[in-house]
Structure 1
Amino acid sequence: MQITGKVAVVTGAAGGIGAAIAQRLLEHGARGVVVTDIDAERLGETGRQLAADHPGCVEAVAGDAASTDGITRLIETAEREFGAVDLYFANAGVTGGAGLDASEDDWSRSLDVNVMAHVRAAKLLVPGWLERGEGYFFSTASAAGLVTQIGSASYAVSKHGAVAFAEWLAVTYGARGVRVSCLCPQGVRTELLMAGTRSEDAAERVAAQAVLDAGALLEPLDVADQVVEAVADERFLVLPHPQVLEFFRRKGADYERWIAGMQRYQESVARPSR
């Protein structure tokens, strides 16, 4: 799909990957972008910065993009201000609790934001896209959705769910004009990741350190460049860190060896010297 002249909604866009995606969409000719985040103050600043460079093309709507009401408001805003929703970037995410001691609320929030937000958005958008014969759903998952996350059970499980739902969408509706991509980055310099390194919870620090040790730390705009390329190519799996594909292949080729290797890796990042 060509971005020029299209209208997009980007969730989790106060900063990080979401803000970078919004910026690149506008730079590539999107006629309208609706950005949202639960952090109203940061979103307002990001919205003002984007609008300064692209006047008349940006609407910032603070709210919870995991709720049906919140998603409905985003869609209505895009349709009212720009006439349509051509692309939906389900980018908002949370880390949740770390291990088995994570609370029921932690699990519920992780599944709600990282998976059910995607399901709710698709339920509202896909019927209209099928009528038009065109639409694009872009899911931000994680490398943790392919090869699991050291430390954080709720993050790993919910991101696997995000990948699975994106796959299902592509399989079920891809031949009817609904394009789907799934972004699975590893380490990206975002507040979501860096906050983990400062956490008082040892398991959360281990989870963040495991990501930092696994490979290069990319900048959000570098990831956004690959997102734009994937949309143009209508490519499903988007891997800003190429080594993730090799990790995924090794996992599938020999599960027992992969689990043993991940156990050793967990031990290495959890050593007290860290």
Structure 2
Amino acid sequence: MDLQGKGIVITGAGHGIGRALAHRFAAEGARVVVNDVDADAAIAVASEVDGYAVPGDAATEDGVQALIDTARGHLGAIDVYFANAGVSVGAGLEASEEDWAKAIEVNTMAHVRAARRLVPDWLESGGGTFVVTASAAGLLTMLGSPTYSVTKHGAVAFAEWLSITYGDRGVTVHCVCPQGVQTQMLDDSGVFKEMLSRDTALTPEQVAESVMRGMADGSFLILPHPEAAEYYAYRAAKPDKWQAAMRKLQQGIDEAGGAR
């Protein structure tokens, strides 16, 4: 996989996995556009990787249009688009309408809106690569957070649909589904942090390395935590037993004061 000179856009690249991706792909010679709602962070990371900062909200119609237009103006063409930005908001049935709306916008619709603007051009120009950073929650579930679970399932489903629909027409799609990652989101997860770290919490750099390997292998599902594949298969084969096991985990969370 030769990334020398390729034009890459990464959303949510001011921190965590996005920042690690920017460093990893810049090291391969890619020309990186760094996007984040945190303008200072986007500018800082762009400076670190000799990239180009385009701060803004890539989840909105206007924001993603501005990002793609600006990135094309700088790069000439977008070869790889990392729809990496994500949020974890709201808990339990008490999650507000605003929480649901934000989760849907950032975790699901941001991918749809970007693909609408990228895929037609790729079909004409000979191809491109679309990478969705979803979550193992999109394959399994996330206890405590229906907003995160539902919207990450939506992200996985959209990535799969995109791959099936355009995979034979030059558009390569990858879907990254990590479990616990050493980011601010994990630190802010409260009583759920231990559960998310049950299998080793990886560094963002380790996730970025897994992404590199998965892209090189042509894998649709990129699982930085390989054990997620076993959980996913077990869930599909024995859904009742899977839910029983998850309810036990939920009981432990309830006893720790995290009931929702």
Deviations 1:140-161 (A, max 9, x none): 0000000100111100000000
When the two structures are superposed, what TM-score results if normalisation uses the length of structure 2? 0.96
Q: State the Cα deviation string for residues 132-181 of structure 1 (Å, max 9, x = none).
A: 12100000000000010011110000000000000000000000000000
1:42 offset after TM fit, Å?
2.0
Equivalent of 2:106, from 113, 134, 139?
A: 113
Which amino acid counterpart does residue 159 of structure 1 have in structure 2?
K
SS in 2 for 1:241: coil
Measure the CA separation in 1 of the matches of 2:251 and 2:228.
20
The answer as to 2:192 corresponding to 1:207 is yes
CA distance in 1: counterparts of 2:157 and 2:24, whole angstroms: 27
Q: Which amino acid aligns with 2:213?
A: E
Letter in 1 for 2:71: A
Q: Give the secondary structure class of the aligned counterpart of 1:88.
A: strand
Listed one character per residue, the Cα deviations across residues 89-129 of structure 1 (whole Å, up to 9, x for unaligned) are 00000001011000000000001000000000000000000
1:222 matched to 2:215: no
Aligned-pair CA distance for 1:273: 8.0
Q: CA RMSD in A?
A: 1.4
CA distance in 2, matches of 1:75, 1:69: 10
- Alpha carbons 2:177, 2:221 under 8 Å: kept: yes
State which of 214, 226, 233 in structure 1 corresponds to 2:217.
Answer: 233
Unmatched tracts of structure 2, length 5 or more: none
Q: Where does residue 243 of structure 1 map in the other structure?
A: 227
1:175 aligns with 2:168: yes
CA contact (8 A) 2:182 2:204 kept: yes
Superposition deviation, residue 272 in structure 1: 3.0
- Relative to structure 2, which stretch is displaced further, 3-12 or 103-112? 3-12
Superposition misfits of 4+ residues, deviation over 6 angstroms? none
Aligned 1:55-204 pairs, distance under 5 A: 58-196=51-189
- Report the TM-score when normalising by structure 1: 0.91
For the pair 1:23 / 2:23, whether they are aligned, the reply is yes
1:240 aligns to what SS in structure 2?
coil
Distance 2:103 2:120 in 1: 26
Matches of 1:143 and 1:233, distance apart in 2: 20
Write the letter of the residue equivalent to 2:63: G
Cα distance in 1, alignment partners of residues 223 and 125 from structure 2:
29
| Number of aligned residue pairs | 258
Give the C-alpha shift of residue 256 in structure 1. 0.5
The Cα of 1:47 is off from its aligned counterpart by: 1.9
> 1:43 deviation in Å?
2.0
Offset of residue 5 of structure 1: 2.0
Q: CA deviation at 1:264?
A: 0.2
For 1:252 and 1:15, locate their aligned partners in 2 and report how far apart those are by CA, in whole Å: 34
1:2 has 2:2 as partner: yes
Report the Cα offset of residue 12 of structure 1: 0.4
Identity over aligned pairs, percent: 50
Between the aligned partners of 2:147 and 2:64, the Cα distance in structure 1 is: 23
